[in-house]
Copies of this chain bind each other. A is one copy, B any other.
Amino acid sequence: MNDPGGTRHHGQGSIAHPVQALIQDIHARAARLNEGAVANYIPELAKADPRDFGIAIAFSDGHVYETGDSRKPFTIQSVSKPLVYALALKDRGRDHVLKRIGVEPSGDAFNSISFDERHNRPFNPMMNQGAIVAASLVRGDGIEERFARVRALFEAFAGGPLGFDEAVYRSEDETGHRNRAIAYLELNAGMIEEPVLEHLDLYFRQCSILVTARDIAVMAATLANYGVNPVTQQRVIPVSIARDVLSVMATCGMYDYAGNWQFDVGIPAKSGVGGGILATLPNEVGIGVYSPPLDALGNSVRGIKVCTELSRNLKLHLLDRNVSGRTVFRRIYRSSEVRSKRVRGPEETKILEANGQRIAVYELQGDLAFANSEQITRVALQDADTTDQFILDARRVLSADPAAHGLLTRLLQIMQARRKNVIVSVTRPSPALDDLVEVLSGAGALVEDFDTALENAEDRLIAALTPGTRDAALDLSDVEVLGRLSAGDLDRLRSHLEPTRYRAGDLILREGAPADRLMFLTRGRVDVVVALADSKARYRVATIEAGNMFGELALLEGGKRTADVVAATDVECLVLTHEALDILSEQSPELASHLVFAVARSLAERLRRATREIAALAR
């Protein structure tokens, strides 16, 4: 019988979030394992249902994914050892504790009763010998106060209240002869002090606290977070103690399997005979698994399987090159704030002003691995309701591991199903990104130069909102800057203008030439191009569309052109030369004044837009 809360799946609509789908897959695969046996050395534990199976993963921002019986309570057992060790360090200080409990793997099987004879102490706090000494070091006046402190610490780790299994506790107490033997050996050797039976009582109680896979995942994430609970944001233990606990888990957490565990799985972990496994990858994630059947070493069979699969699939290995940068988002903005280098006509500009927020740009950076790719995925899915197009600007991404590939591929599939457009820009791809580019191309995400990506996204947005094509030449009155001139002014102006046509590819204005004309573009598109300082390469600064003027900056300031202007398509424009402007100024000073006023107004508008863009980019 499962707790109904334990089967909650945190899906996104009909298609699950990539991480959700992943743990469900792993759950399904591991559920087929029928090896192992439920612990029976304590009668109460033998009552556990071997089919119970829950998985939870908690991230350092407090988000938890869970599947199966992740809300089903069970006794924490040995998973309590790293936590009580942390409390001992807190209560007594590092030197005091290290003198009494070593940090060396014993090399012995989990059920041996061996001690570090040379130092007269247990080898480490992850085996019963050391854990009993750790419990003896917990401060407090009497058993109730001491246990209340242990429980309060566990609850702070879990971020919520925890139950207690009276039946298991009584059963532990009644059958715990082996642990009593250990404690008396320790008392005999001077490793612990009286009251031994109270210390043992505390130890039995700490093992009988009830947790769920979800609780364990949050506890593990608190360790991964170096002592700050990611859900409550409370600091539970200092950074230095978290480090020490992680170190001991890394070398001693998995009994005499430590070397292989580090080699193959590489996630500091602790298991308990209740069927729980707590695994914690510093700075990344906390994992909690619950499945009662145990292998010969006393570890949950399915728990081991889950940790192994997570490590392999997600590259969650302490020594894998999986440095998930914490700052994966360099900047997020909308195309209403920053536009492509295409200066569009007034119609399209209006559409983009009004709807630009439907295009999201995520500037990504650093090394993409599991934890930060999950973050990207989550943010994108949250934004999907209000966003049609996503540009993942990966120009500053240094590397992406297979876990990142997997999550991004899955994200693309979800977005495709939701008819969202995702474009990834990876300019000058390094070999470190070859795999990413391949994965993205394969998944149908266009991989483009960033500005092209933004421009195409704008095009798509405009096309969706204005069906039908327009390629007719514009009238002078359609030129944005002249929109407020009277019909009479426009007619008079027209008589001073010279209609000119260019073929695609023609050079219209040349860098270095005197600035002696202003052009009103009525058809087609021109590119503004400069030579890069350090090469012969040409760099497109902007593309200007019909409905705009160009060449006005240099004309206003005098001097030389600072860029080439090249016809991108066949082009028609109306040209106002310097001489024509002089004649106009003499013949109709008022029109000249209106014209310059209009130009100034257009510049003011562009300056306002540039200021907004600076504000977005300065974020």
Contacts and interface: CB of A to CB of B under 8 A. Distances in A.
Interface string A319-332: 11101011100100
Given A259-B104, A259-B252, A262-B251, A600 B596 contact: yes
A309 to B, nearest CB: 17
Contact of A326 (B260, B325, B610): B325
A404 to B, nearest CB: 14
Given A246-B319, A319-B250, A593-B592, A124 B259 contact: yes
Interface string A249-287: 011100011111011001010000000000000110000
What secondary structure prevails in chain A residues at the interface with B? helix
Contact of A605 (B263, B557, B589): B557
Interface residues of A, number: 69
Nearest to A611: B610
Contacts of A553: 604, 607-608
A323 B283 contact: yes
Contact of A260 (B104, B319, B589, B605): B104
Given A600-B603, A614-B610, A319 B247 contact: yes
A305 interface: no
Interface in A87-118: 102-107
B102 A327 contact: no
A540 B279 CA distance: 49
A103 B263 CA distance: 7
Given A553-B604, A589-B590, A593-B592, A319 B282 contact: yes
Given A282-B321, A318-B318, A597-B556, A604 B603 contact: yes
A188 B191 CA distance: 44
A105 B259 CA distance: 6
Interface of A: 102-107, 124, 226, 239, 243-244, 246-248, 250-252, 256-260, 262-263, 266, 268, 282-283, 317-321, 323, 325-327, 330, 365-367, 396, 398, 552-553, 556-557, 585, 589-590, 592-593, 596-597, 599-601, 603-608, 610-611, 613-614, 617-618
Given A326-B367, A589-B593, A610-B611, 19 more contacts: A103-B259, A103-B260, A104-B258, A105-B105, A244-B263, A246-B319, A247-B319, A318-B318, A327-B327, A327-B366, A552-B604, A553-B604, A556-B597, A556-B601, A592-B593, A593-B593, A606-B607, A610-B614, A617-B617
22 contacts: A103-B259, A104-B258, A239-B321, A243-B317, A244-B263, A246-B319, A248-B263, A251-B259, A282-B319, A283-B323, A318-B318, A323-B326, A327-B365, A327-B396, A556-B600, A585-B593, A589-B590, A596-B600, A603-B603, A610-B610, A610-B611, A617-B618
